[in-house]
Amino acid sequence: MNCLVLAEVGQGPCCFHSHVETRGKVEQVLKSEAGRKLKPSRLTKPFLYALQPLPHPWSPVMMMDIKLLACLLSQVSWLVPSERSQQLASRGYQANGVDTTLVLFQKGESRIHDIQLLGIDYLPSARRTFSTKNDVSQAGSCRFLAAGHHSGLLASNEGGRQADYAELSSPPIEIHGLTGLKVEFSCTDPDKVVGVTLSVSTPLDKVGEYSRHFYCAWRCGSHQDAGRRMRRIRLNLSDDIGFRPSLFNPNATVVVAAKLFTWIIDEATWSKADTDDRRDIYKRALTRKAYIVRISAPYSRPHKRFPMSCVPWFWHHVQKNWHFTDLRTCPVEQQTVYLLRYPAVLSGLTYGISRDLKPYSDTLLETERRRAFLSPSFSVELWVYIIDYCPKAHLNQAQACAIFVHITWLGYHMTPALLVDTEGKMQVEVQGPEIYTAHKTAQSLPRNQWVRILLTLKHREWSLQWSYGKHHNLTNSAFMTYDLDIAYDDTDGQFILGGVDPALGSFRGYLGQVKLYRGRALTLDELSLPDPDHPMFQLQLSEKEASCQRFLSWMSNTMSYYAHKAVLRKQKYVCPYSYKWVVIGKASDVRLTSCPQRMEHTQWDHRHVARLMRPLARLDQQLTVHDKIHFAQVLMKVVTDSVKLRGLENMHKNLPLLNQATCLGSTDAMFTLAVFLNNGLGTTVQETESTVFLMLGTLNQHRLSTLALGHRHMMGIDGVPYDCSAAYMYYKFVGDTTRDDRETHKEEEVATEMVRLIDEVAMEQQTDENGDLFLWLKHQAQKGVQSAQLQMGHLLFWGSQGVRRNLQAAREMFQQGAEQGDPNSIYNLGLMEFHGKAGTEKNETAGHEKIKTAAEKGLPHAVGALGWIALEKERNYSKAAAYFEESYNTGHMDAGYYLGHMYQYGIYPNKSQDLSMAVFYYMMAAESGPEVASFNLAWLCEENKEGVTSTFSKECQWRHYNLSVHREPQFVDPYSYIKMGDYYWFGCEGIRNISKAAAYYSAAAVKQDPHALFNLAFMVEERADIPDSVWEQLNIPHRIRHNNVSILMELYERCRESSKSEAFIPCSLALYRVWAVDLWTRYHIWMKLPMYAGIFVAIFGTAYLIHRCMVRQNPLDEDMLQL
């Protein structure tokens, strides 16, 4: 039996006091025979650090390269193989090909203490100090057992014969509160004490620190079989460690590591120790064995047993009820965060989607995250589809646009920021306590395809990897390492996907999916590709672009064919396949030696475009962007005329025309096609395709498409998930664009800017009547600057930006602008005169003239206002229709609403009531979100006159009623609430929900609608289970809720007192009926007694009268009776 013992060197065991001395010793080793087998690369920096002076008085095991250490100490010590070399090889400790174990001793000590290496306890075999090799041979033996889950050490000083031992029979791997143990032991002295101890380490303990949790001890005693004995014990763990958390066990402790010890100690040591010392007395045992075990996770532990011996019958049922057993659960932590799940459209402007992260709820995770502020690790995976790298590069000095930016709440950039420049090269910006730097990649991102980008930061190094191609097998990468720390706090500020208002635009294209891995530095190989059915792949953007390219290529070829053919005609040559014979005439100066290539037969759907291209080809003109826009407008007019003439029937013939107009760049066609596909007009319902065309319109900054896309995100409808941040991005673009339309500025004018409350500089620019900004605008207005006059007028008219409202002063400003011909000022002045604002007399004629003047100058709102005047005031429907048509063609959705109104009520000139056109316009308006349009469309679908809903593949009525009620309550009409209540009360489409029906009726009743009150009363009479929240919403007192009759009386009384006169009679009759029924129910006995008495009196009286009549008719009989 051999042990490895290293002799003392210097003042400390195996210690060198400097790197110089260490280097000298290493050189000596390398010159030796053993050192020639070593590679110079083994002299690593960690090894030099490992040879620093060791602490006194105890000598821990040196955690270093065993092979190199053995060679280093070969001149001052000796190396002896250990007994269990094969088992120790699993730990990887080898010296010159021989498995070894190191045990270091301190000279001058009376005994050797435990030495721990990687969780394995070792015990020397003798209680003395060894300083020479002879001492080792005299010491007897030491036995090192295997390192593993169940490893331990048995030692004695009996020359190799093991007399005392204690170990577990079938030691467990995992333990909990109900685990039992079998302890086998043997003692040479019956007075010795045998024990079992459990030590645990929790997350709150220091690394490697254990605390005693359980111990059990007993005396060996005498026994006939002195060689082998067994004892069964149960681990009486505390409830927080041994059992599952529940209502009866509210606290739970997570255990990181645990060790079981079996030990034997002599009687003298046991007797001298007091009660507290006996808990840790296992550390003094000469015979001891250790087992590495694990304690079950909290929710994998058994339930706590009933404290009494007699378990009641209900206890097992209680344990199975999750209300008792799973009362406390761990919250889901955001370690992998989806910053974006559904594709978003970035039009290249300063708009983006903002996200913010919350700190961890778990204390350990949050502590670890805070410690990593200056040594962060994270990964961001982004899927991008870039069409234009940076259309707004001029907005910032970096000449770059945003992809993914981390900013503070004040708008300053933090780590990380990922940008792209005009050449497609990515730029990564990071920030630290002493640095703020940016670096660009050498390669550019590909366009018009999905690219996966992985940005990883690990301590002081960031890496950028991206893959692309059809199967994403093409990759590029870039790396950067810094000498200074990088700061990163993911809970500070917000992450922006896209542009940052106001000075950082985004790339033009799409963001597919963005995922943040907190605290993990990953590579592309560690990530899997998303599901092929992910929405960003279902959009099929590349396929759509390829389809449009084929159509445009057909147009180019057709244009060339017509041009070639026109030249032939000028030369009097006619190709044989064009006519049945060849006409040869006098040739012109320009001759063609061959006929043009025969063009494929023109598709029927392309005939309109082909007809438009022929005149251009005859004039030898090339197709321009203006020509394509004109073609698209003609195609849109063909579709509109088709709806006017044929209604919504045969809409499938119009879909190819809308597709062609879309390829030609018509954003109106994109929006119209999206509406048709979403509602299933002329085709099946295609929500994904509809969203694609809305995204194309949004990409081209079409307001209605953007508004509709924001509406879908806000409502979470039509296959688009609910996302307020994405909806806000789209709505903000529409709002800013609308504001800009109302405040058109020339080059010499100053534009109004959006102001953030956190921007102190911008806030200082807010003004009042004495503010610098107001005075400057006033000065500019007096000098005749139109923009200043218009802005001053708006400030004074609306009372905004801290200025008190002053209509008279606003009128003066608009008057000054109108004198200079500003259409906005003329329009505002005309409205004030038309309605009699600002203290002026109402003059509709003068106001009308000014509005007409503004409309002639091309102001869309003025055109719509003229239509309203013609419709409501003049009753000139022809003029109103013309104005609304003109305004609608400029994208003004209010005009679309009024056109639908005119078609619905049959007041469109020269047309009878046209429900198809009404549905068409209401459907277009409802897609962008207005509640009134959704309501009117639902009502038309409910009426279903002329079978108009038969053309819809998607359900129309309930869908739009449902959309109309999901708004702010003040914008919802009570009729919509009542219809949705009917939907759930009658179980339309197989869905009946009494609670929802009552809630919708209650919402309508709050708006004082008598129909809703009547319906609620009907539900009460039907004995429906109505929640108390309904009565609380209606402010019905508790004293009335004690029975149904009092509730019915209250509801019918409110219904009768409604402002709507048509409700008085039915509600009054219902009230009297309830009163009469209640009166009869309560007093029917007392009411029956008089009735019975009356019946008796009536019968008796009738009988008496009959009798009297009969007597009078026979007087002789009466006389005879008297005789």
Q: Which domain holds residue 848?
A: 771-858
Residues 51 and 124 both lie in one domain: yes
Which of 462, 484, 519 is the last residue in one of the domains? 519
Residue 956 falls inside a structural domain: no
pLDDT at residue number 317: 66
Q: In angstroms, rounded to a whole number, what is the distance separating the alpha carbons of residues 126 and 135? A: 10
Q: In angstroms, rounded to a whole number, what is the distance separating the alpha carbons of residues 795 and 827? A: 16
Contact assessment for residue 439 and residue 428, using Cβ atoms and an 8 Å cutoff: yes
Q: In angstroms, rounded to a whole number, what is the distance separating the alpha carbons of residues 710 and 702? A: 12
Helices (H), 915-993: 915-927, 931-943, 957-965, 974-985
Domain CATH code at residue 379: 2.60.120.200
Of 516, 483, 528, residue with least CA distance to 377: 516
Residue 58 falls inside a structural domain: yes
Segments in the chain below pLDDT 70 = 1-162, 222-227, 275-279, 306-311, 313-331, 570-604, 620, 741-809, 837-840, 891, 893, 904, 910-914, 945-946, 1113-1123
Q: In angstroms, rounded to a whole number, what is the distance separating the alpha carbons of residues 540 and 546? A: 10
Which of 504, 519, 534 is the last residue in one of the domains? 519
For residues 942-959, b (16+ Cβ closer than 10 Å) or e, as one string?
eeeeeebbebbeeebbbb
Of 471, 463, 464, 468, residue with least CA distance to 452: 468
Domain CATH code at residue 779: 1.25.40.10
Structure token digits, residue 625? 């962007």
Strand partners for 585: none
pLDDT at residue number 804: 61
Residues 4 and 135 both lie in one domain: yes
Q: In angstroms, rounded to a whole number, what is the distance separating the alpha carbons of residues 949 and 966? A: 23
pTM over 0.75: no
Residues 206 and 289 both lie in one domain: yes
Residue 264 falls inside a structural domain: yes
Residues 174 and 222 both lie in one domain: yes
Residue 148 falls inside a structural domain: no
CA dist 529 → 1, 451, 468 (Å): 58, 12, 12
Contacts of 370 (CB under 8 A, 6+ apart): none
Residues 344 and 474 both lie in one domain: yes
List pLDDT tens digits, range 961-1008. Answer: 888 888 888 878 888 898 899 888 888 877 888 999 999 999 999 988
Which of 86, 109, 141 is the last residue in one of the domains? 141
Residues 381 and 243 both lie in one domain: no
How many domains does the chain divide into? 5
Q: Evaluate the omega torsion of the peptide bond into residue 13 and state whether it is cis, within 30 degrees of 0.
A: no
Residue 298 falls inside a structural domain: yes
Residues 515 and 548 both lie in one domain: no
Residue 36 falls inside a structural domain: yes
The 174-175 sheet, strands edge to edge: 174-175, 287-295, 257-265, 193-201, 211-219
Residues 719 and 579 both lie in one domain: yes
CA dist 785 → 754, 771, 794, 822 (Å): 21, 19, 15, 10
Phi-psi region at 1017: left, alpha or beta (left = phi > 0; alpha = psi -120 to 50):
alpha
- DSSP element (H, E) containing 612: helix 607-618
pLDDT at residue number 461: 93
Residues 687 and 602 both lie in one domain: yes
List pLDDT tens digits, range 1027-1053. Answer: 888 898 888 888 888 888 888 888 988
Residues 106 and 218 both lie in one domain: no
Structure token digits, residue 1042? 């004690």
pLDDT at residue number 145: 27
Domain CATH code at residue 243: 2.60.40.2550
Amino acid occupying residue 80: V
pLDDT at residue number 240: 86
Residue 839 falls inside a structural domain: yes
Distance of CA 892 to the CA centre of its chain: 33
Residues 75 and 5 both lie in one domain: yes
Residues 724 and 832 both lie in one domain: no
Strand partners for 510: 345, 385
Placement of tokens 């007699």 in the chain = 310
Q: In angstroms, rounded to a whole number, what is the distance separating the alpha carbons of residues 724 and 538? A: 23
Residue 1106 falls inside a structural domain: no
pLDDT at residue number 493: 92
